[in-house]
Structure 1
Amino acid sequence: MQERREMTHSFVRPRNVIGRDDAKKQILDLLMQQDADRNVNVIPIVGIGGLGKTTPAKLAFDDNQVVSRFQLRMWVCVFEDFNVARLTKEIIKSAIYRIDENFVVDGLPNSLKELLNDKKILENLGVDELQCRLRELLKEKKFLLVLDDVWNEDHSKGNQLEELLLGGCNGMKLAFKDGKEKEYPNLLKIGEAIVEKCKGVPLAVMTLASLLHSKFDEREWKFVRDNEIWNLDKKDGGILPALRLSYNQLPFHLKQHFAYCSLFPKDFEFISSQLVQFWMAHGILQSPDNEKQELEDIGELYIKELMSRSLFEDVDENYMFSYSFKMCDLVHDLAQSIAKGECSVVTKKSTLAAEVCHLSFLENGQEVTTQLEKLSKVHTNIFKTKQPASLLEACIIRFKYLRVLDLSKSSFEVLPSSIGSLKHLRYVNLSGNDIIKPLLDSICKLHSLQTLLPGGCSNLEWFPKGIRDIIGLRFLVVTTKHTCLLEKAVGCLDSLRSLWICECENLKCVFEGMEEGRLTQNVQLKSLQTFRIKDCPEFSSLLEGIQDLTALREFQIEDCPMLSRKCREEVRHKIAHVPNIDFDEYFDEDIGSS
């Protein structure tokens, strides 16, 4: 767990500061200037940690010239977690604190007056609502925003924040960061030549900017400018050569991960945790030899690296424990061209290469089944439409090395018992199948299984006891008709990292056999990091021994109205050490006080 740095603030006693007058004056001079060509002007203050960047910024922030010039002043600590949604909340909070400084509160829109009267409203706003409130707040106002302790290396997130500040505002953003920066004037001319080759296409410019932003060696910039790829394909305004250049510069392992994304259709909304599970199933997440990192954390790093190169876009962080993103159409085309022959989307008109390893089925029918006869090396089967049981049987019989089987939103009453023969299978997704009832003992033979997702299977009559023998299981989503889970099965899964309990209409407690809500010695879950309980209307009893889940990092209760306020507060106190705790406030007050 990353250690949280000490929060800073804008207050400093001038009489306690000696020898920083020149630094303060330099900042003031810059603040009093304004670039008419920019809505938001940025003043970076950089230097190694402990150099004393924050103190002169504090002195300038409270200077009378600054107070009179800017209608709004805001001070926000960033740290390494450059989460745009969190920062938006913090910016609004800081602004509200000083909102009556230079303009009349009566002139504010009603939505902002509500925030003044009840600041708790802010915590419940979604990302879109936060953006609207921020833009309302800054509209036509001259503001100063100080971002303190900026460590983030992903400049795309900084761009997201700047876009929020460009809502018709005139502002000045003062950011200071640990690190050293030097000017490289020759790179400017090289960069201008690269931009010209991009023919004014924003995605091309962004992609190559992401590639080069942290590189200061002229040879690397010249390599991009003079690369022969620019001569190979002139269509789309230079975007495809730019994308190919960015891809070619990827580390080898990231090329694998990027190509795998071609299995999904255009405009597909990826969920970070799901994509990481796919990669993990194929064994392509490797921890550095000198570090002990969780595979899930390594997968997150890979996703962020691809984002930093503009290969993923439209990031939405409004997912608990996860976030979504997409690939633009041209990037998707690039992934398909690279993965051709190894990854294929199957339709009735497809022509599949014999060496194909990963399949995504978009259609069904005899034509599709016939194409499978020449294949033997398939490791991935993703079904995007409802398929007949005969096709599933054919895949199980034919593909003995399957590692990923995605049957989400399928309609099988029962899984074929032959699934137990897939000894290499690591990922099974059954989510959304509302007619499946039993989960047969054959699934317990999948000793390599890491991810099992039967969430949303509303008629599932729970798992066989033998599931505890799947000792490598790391991610489990549960939907059951029972009032309690089977303790001796789930509670002994020592490798389990994530347990999500969702849409259980009858569930009252987590494990059966609990005495007055106590977590018994049979329940170990020593590695559990993410614990989520959602949409369980009868759920009323939490674990007394939950504090013994020492690896827990994230805990969420959502839409469980029978769980009392008292119980929530007791649990919150017991797991106060957990970095991410989220209890929604949805419950019946009459029941909640019991």
Structure 2
Amino acid sequence: MPAPSPAPWPVSQDVAALADRAAGLSRAGAGPRDDLGTLAAALLRIQPVAHELERRGWLDPEGPGLRAWLLDLRDAVADAEDLLDELHRRREAGGAPLSACVDATFRGPGRKLRRLAERLDRVGDDSERLRPAARAAAGAGGGVRSPSRVTGSVLAERRVFGRERERDSVVASLVGGGREETCGSVAPVVAVVGHGGMGKTALAQCVYNDARVEAWFDVRAWVCVWDRSDEAELTREILQSIGCADDTLCGDGRGDLDSLQEKLEKSAASKRFLLVLDDVWIDEGKTEVENRSVWNKVLAPLRSTAVGSKILVTTRMKLVAEVLDVGHAVSLDGLRSDDCWLLLKEVALGGEAMDFPPELQEIVRAIVSKVKGSPLAAKSIGQMIWSARSTQELRALMNTEISDRIILSSLQLSYQHLPGHLQRCFAYCSIFPTTWRFDRYKLVEMWIALGFIQPPAEEEKRLEDLGQKYFDDLLARSFFGTANKDQQTYYFLDDQMHILAQHFSAHDCMKINEDIPAVIPPTVRHLSVSSDYLPQLKSKYRLGRLRTLLVLRSPSLSSSHFPRTLLAKFKNLRVLDLSESDVAELPETIGQLVHLHYLALCSMTNKLPKSIYRLKHVEVCVPILLFHDNHPGGVGKFGTVKHLKTCCGIRRVKSFSDVLNSMLLIRQCDGARSSLQG
């Protein structure tokens, strides 16, 4: 049974920006009926409702009513954006009065605008029956994370597989050394960082109970932080862990912060103290300075401890390591296949000495390959194998959906904990292949082209700078991994993060890399597809809805052409990425993609149509190729493309004249870039 379909990614952050755009155009004079003003008012009315219901949508993943409402909202907001973009384009192109542009754009005096405003109001009316249920769910859930998670220092498992190297690394960083390891005066901090289900708590329990650790420290304390962010509550938990009974705490049994910290300072004074903080999160409602302040207060009493005291933190977020000034961090990746096999066998059979019957070993080995190195998935499927009553039930466990669902259950909290603007940017990455190496600058340009980067009203910040901050925020929260090759840093989604992104973009994104589906859902607006399947898209999908098209290299053809009649159908396309395709030639119809903001060409492209120079809003065009005689208009003509930012990737040089043309092209591109920066 597949995991429940999630709500579509949030769009409420776009509503206020669209309302501002509509109101601005209205002030410019849209005709006597002021249909733009009506649309702006409708958007403003629905914005707070949308924000509330989006935040609560994940609490009711099985609720079709709320999910359907959020889809209706998403479609209405997308249509509003398309209408305003078209109006803006016509006004720029013709210089006609705004009221005339409205009539020309919408084939009648604002008819589409009025219909859209009425549609938004209907969506708002429908929300009233959902809001009480959402508030009830919010009250029951207590916010983003459930407070029910509790861990302890006792190792719940008989054995921990495949973590010997990480265990020894953590123990070595805890045992020995002094306070000189950190710049601050609080005990040095060691961190174990990894995705949900990677076994961070189990590793910390192994370390906590290791004989070397027990011998080194005079006092050990274990606190499951989870959603606790109150300084007094955290201090009280530390005191309870070292054996201070509740009745020793002053006041109402909870104790005020000063009294609690005095008690902790006395209890820890002159002792080698080990504090384990399990499952630490950053409070997204606070700034980094505020989060640092909380932990500085909580850890302040440990200044009284003896040299050699340490703090061990487990977290999903690299950002936690930065906030706590971690001196040594150990990253937990997926287990090796052999270790997954041993762990699954331990759970399924109850001991390493036992083994599966020969006729079942191949089936179980195939199941192990599905868990993608996740200890949690291996244990969960091991429990299913233990309870399976037949070979048929065992074969059913080979279904990838089962292991994916288990992995999702451990990771979805990380996604739900993200601010809404980061949720969408991350989930969008699902359209890329699993082996994709992301260039952070190109990805940010795609986000900008799609309108994903929305600067706060009070901030004046370049979209590129804000987009890079978005990327850094995702990186600090462990959603991207890093790799270095040829002195360049690349970013990637590991298998588990890719599963997570696919799950939370199911309504909005689709990747076609094998057989093309019978129907592409109408909610899909971002698509990646092999060039083999391009000709079949027209019969499967209303192409005018598409915002992103990523074309990938065909496994069966050496080169291909973009179908001429197909390209013209992508009337609302913002991003067209052909950089990893085998599309060698583009048709003249590309000039009809008037809303295109991001164009990435394939290195095999050997001919550019004349119409490409009509794309006045293209902001990125990479790579730019050598211009030979078959490139229309010569080198200088290409300079008419507006806002050209990136020029790279010269394809080939055939003659000295080619070299001169290439130098001229690069000089002109540099000039365009300099004028933009200036």
Q: TM-score range, shorter-chain basis?
A: 0.3 to 0.5
TM-score w.r.t. the length of structure 2 is: 0.40
Rg bigger for which structure?
A: 2
TM-score (norm 1): 0.45
Higher helix residue share = 2
Q: Relative contact order, CA 8 A, sep 6+: which one is greater?
A: 2
